[in-house]
Chain A
Amino acid sequence: MRFDTPATTNPIDRLRIIGQPVDRIDGPLKVRGAAPYAYEQHEAVPNQAYGWVVGAGIAKGRITRMDLDAAHAAPGVIAILTTENAGPLDKGKRNAAPLLGGPEITHYHQAIALVIAESFEQARDAAQRVQVAYAVEEGAFDLAEAKAEGVGPSKDSPDSKIGDFAKAFAEAPVQLDATYTTPDQTHAMMEPHASLAAWDGESLEVWTSNQMVAWAHQDLAKTLRLKKEQVRIRSPYVGGGFGAKLFLRADILLAALGARLAGRPVKVALQRPLIANNTTHRAATIQRIRLGAGRDGRLTAIAHESWSGNVEGGEEENAIQQTRLLYAGANRLTGTRLAHLDLAEGNAMRAPGEAPGLLALEVAMDEMAEKLGIDPVEFRILNDTQEDPEKPDRPFSQRQLIECLRQGAAGFGWDQRSAQPGTRREGRWLVGLGMAVGFRNNLVDKSGARVRLDGEGIVTVETDMTDIGTGSYTIIAQTAAEMMGVALDRVVVRLGDSSFPASAGSGGQWGANTSTAGVYAACVKLREQVAQALGLNASDADFADGMVRSGERSIPLADAARDGALTAEDTIEFGDLQKRFQQSTFAGHFVEVAVDAATAEVRVRRMLAVCAAGRILNPKSARSQVIGAMTMGLGAALMEELAVDTRQGFFVNHDLAGYEVPVHADVPRQEVIFLDEVDPTSSPMKAKGVGELGLCGVGAAVANAIHNATGIRVRDYPITLDKLLDRLPG
């Protein structure tokens, strides 16, 4: 199905099942621990051996000698994989650094060996006996130092210049010129990257934990120089991803190579202390923002420049993305520069670009509002735009940002905020309110599904889409139930298998809208087949309550499959509506913090997000996406930072003890309001995404609340108490 004109009324609009806050259909399995993740596929194949990954102990250089004798001699060892015996390898289209290093090492903890043994304990023990000698080379590890060498712009993110920024900024009566930094961050999903691989002759089967089955399929085949038909990937349950599992990573490749070498199935989980340096991370940024405004508060000049670093072949962290679209202003300048760093590859983490970009921009907006003496909410409303500021003939499909802010301000009690920072005190606590705008684009990509109706009236959906906690199983079932007019428990959803039609996968908050749109397309075809089988007119047939009705006739749906199951497959493909309309999602984030006047400990007390993101397919799971993202935003503001050892070139705090993420005690009650919205330009579902929107802007709202509480402006994240302690008021 080609989607190239805005959607009109369709069966989804009935909202009998879709749009309802139903419990997750995979919930009963998950609360019993009965959903098998990648490392838990004991039943898949017999005789599984265990792999332990050895990571490089240097950031850059060469392996000069690798002594494997002691490891080989250790009990239970079956084989040891290195580049010496891995055979010829290509590199996946989406990988920058090689997943198996040696002799050349391009980043710390790059995998250099897989020790395969009969048991986990034996593999771990033998791996400690691997002796490696290196010739270390100098590397670049410090972004602040490498920044001057930054090159750019890249073809994906060209500089953008509208009007005459320099002149407008120079002439602006009120100016801000401030630099912000955001640190490297790691996804820290709870399930480590893990894979089980088994060969049958020249065919390879992999059970893994991956967000994008089609990408992993393609890149694994390419890396191993196999045909895609020789490779099957399954990823039925994913214990969190946040971007970490978008790509083929070392666990999959090493399991596949190890299984070939060992001559039996091998399973591999990346050890937790390897993950931060072995895999991808969100790259640190240095961002300079200049804003110029008239005394009336209208922005006349906006500039946002961002520097980040990456390995050879890696891309920039596109932190300026939102600044091109978020506020009005006639004179604009945005651009990114990329420096070479020899740290692990920087790549997508939840809301890449906008998450760090808004940490800077939305604090800059707060600072500017303060300079202007205008309330921060009103300042943003004053500078709202209903069209792309760079291309004024291109409207937003929907833009309810002002409504998000007005409702949020009213609901949160924004009027209790003191405009004068550092003036609200409750005992030992300094109390402040902060807000920020959340913004994230709606992305679409083609997505396929197969739907089958059997003689029992059961509808089975198959697509390689994944559920990484987002609720895909449930909203896909709701979509099929709505389209076919059956109860939710009459739908079976099977996901995450490369033998199913390729979906858009889970990333960029596009998964919900596009994967359900693919299911919609397949269901439209199945409805036609059903109508034909029943001798009804497809165009006026109504599918409801397990019956198909047309005119005077009403026939059980299952009758259509009496002589054999009916199967339909289709892929939704998108035309140019994305070009004609700017499709984005919006939020107003509001936060109250209390800062200990003596210790500078920050406690977040209340959080509210008001979101406008198209049709909400399941308000219960969508709300969970948003509160989870708000929690991650709290972490970004207050604690999350991969500390770089700029001499040795690695992230020091590379485990869940050193890399702090929010825990129960950090998180207050959180409120989420979804504005009533449908976006007919996005898909037949009229939905957009919320999973990344919920994160965008949250950290800045926390930072702004801390400023309101203390009068201290911290421009370097995370806002740990050492950055506040010597500047606390009285």
Chain B
Amino acid sequence: MPIPDTETSSRTPAPDPVPGDVSLARLSLRVNGAVRELELDTRTTLLDALREALRLTGTKKGCDHGQCGACTVLVEGRRIYSCLTLAVMHEGESITTIEGLGTAEALHPMQAAFVKHDGYQCGYCTPGQICSAVAVLEEIEAGIPSHVSESLDAVRISDAEIRERMSGNICRCGAYANILDAINEVGGQPA
């Protein structure tokens, strides 16, 4: 395909919309164990489906461009930036958000460890950090190697492994050292 002349294309107005032209799609998501039926504008990201349509605002929007990690959720058990994927791509899939990890009465061990180790400050990146951290421990447990793994066959929890794998979740308040302590506590590595 030829590369479009950007000079020209940037000056071409978008095609005129047809009034009332909204493309809606029905879909079904299993969110935190419950089936949720939705009718959404097909352009809706998974993040906005959670935050706006389902009002599950624990998942945060920091950049909307896959740059910060605040929107991290677990889809079919794997972590994903929910701002970089459309909701309609997840028909029938199982989504776990921060609201599905623990309750006020019974925090998930990772949530409790974040409180104990002060693994946050403003709290805005926190749900994404926690979802990511839960998945990181599972990835290490499953033997999935990372850039810093010394061997492809023997993946073990270490500070370096955690730091590497958590680097897609920015914390501008700079709670990284405390987040590491929290993950180590849950992961069984002495802090």
Whether A242 touches B172, Cβ cut-off 8 Å, given contacts A33-B57, A664-B166, is yes
A607 (CB) vs chain B CBs: closest residue: B177
A75–B22 touching, CB < 8 Å? yes
B19–A191 touching, CB < 8 Å? no
| Distance to closest chain A CB from B147 (angstroms) | 9
Q: Select one of A35, A122, A629 contacting B123, CB under 8 A.
A: A35
- Which residues does chain A contribute within 8 Å of B29, judged by CB atoms? none
A interface with B by C-beta (< 8 Å): 23-24, 26-37, 39-40, 42, 70, 73-76, 119-122, 125, 128-129, 131, 187-192, 237-242, 269, 271-273, 468-471, 620-621, 623-625, 627-632, 655-657, 661-665, 667-670
- Which residues does chain A contribute within 8 Å of B13, judged by CB atoms? 70, 129, 131
Asked if B175 is at the interface of the complex by the 8 Å CB criterion, the answer is yes
Q: Mark B33-63, 1 if CB is under 8 A from A, else 0.
A: 0000000010110001001100111111111
Interface residues of B in 2-39 (CB under 8 A from A): 13-14, 16-17, 19-22
CA distance A106 to B124 in the complex (A): 32
A70–B14 touching, CB < 8 Å? yes
B20 (CB) vs chain A CBs: closest residue: A75
| Distance to closest chain B CB from A399 (angstroms) | 27
CA distance A75 to B16 in the complex (A): 11
A632–B174 touching, CB < 8 Å? yes
- Which residues does chain B contribute within 8 Å of A75, judged by CB atoms? 17, 19-22
- Which residues does chain A contribute within 8 Å of B120, judged by CB atoms? 27, 30-31, 469
Task: Give 18 A-B pairs besides A32-B99, A32-B101 with Cβ atoms closer than 8 angstroms.
Answer: A23-B115, A28-B104, A31-B102, A33-B59, A37-B60, A70-B14, A73-B19, A129-B14, A188-B172, A191-B122, A468-B122, A624-B178, A628-B173, A656-B63, A656-B65, A656-B67, A663-B166, A667-B163
| Distance to closest chain B CB from A27 (angstroms) | 4
B70 (CB) vs chain A CBs: closest residue: A190
Q: Select one of A119, A120, A269, A665 contacting B167, CB under 8 A.
A: A665
Interface segment out of the listed B88-96, B125-133, B150-158: B125-133
- Which residues does chain A contribute within 8 Å of B82, judged by CB atoms? none
Whether A470 touches B65, Cβ cut-off 8 Å, given contacts A31-B111, A75-B22, is no
Whether A664 touches B163, Cβ cut-off 8 Å, given contacts A74-B17, A190-B125, is yes
CA distance A74 to B15 in the complex (A): 10
A32–B44 touching, CB < 8 Å? no
A628–B41 touching, CB < 8 Å? no
- Which residues does chain B contribute within 8 Å of A470, judged by CB atoms? 121
A271 (CB) vs chain B CBs: closest residue: B64
| Distance to closest chain B CB from A669 (angstroms) | 6
B124–A240 touching, CB < 8 Å? yes
A42–B55 touching, CB < 8 Å? yes
CA distance A183 to B144 in the complex (A): 40
A122–B121 touching, CB < 8 Å? no
- Which residues does chain B contribute within 8 Å of A269, judged by CB atoms? 61
- Which residues does chain A contribute within 8 Å of B114, judged by CB atoms? 27, 31
Asked if B179 is at the interface of the complex by the 8 Å CB criterion, the answer is yes
B19–A36 touching, CB < 8 Å? no
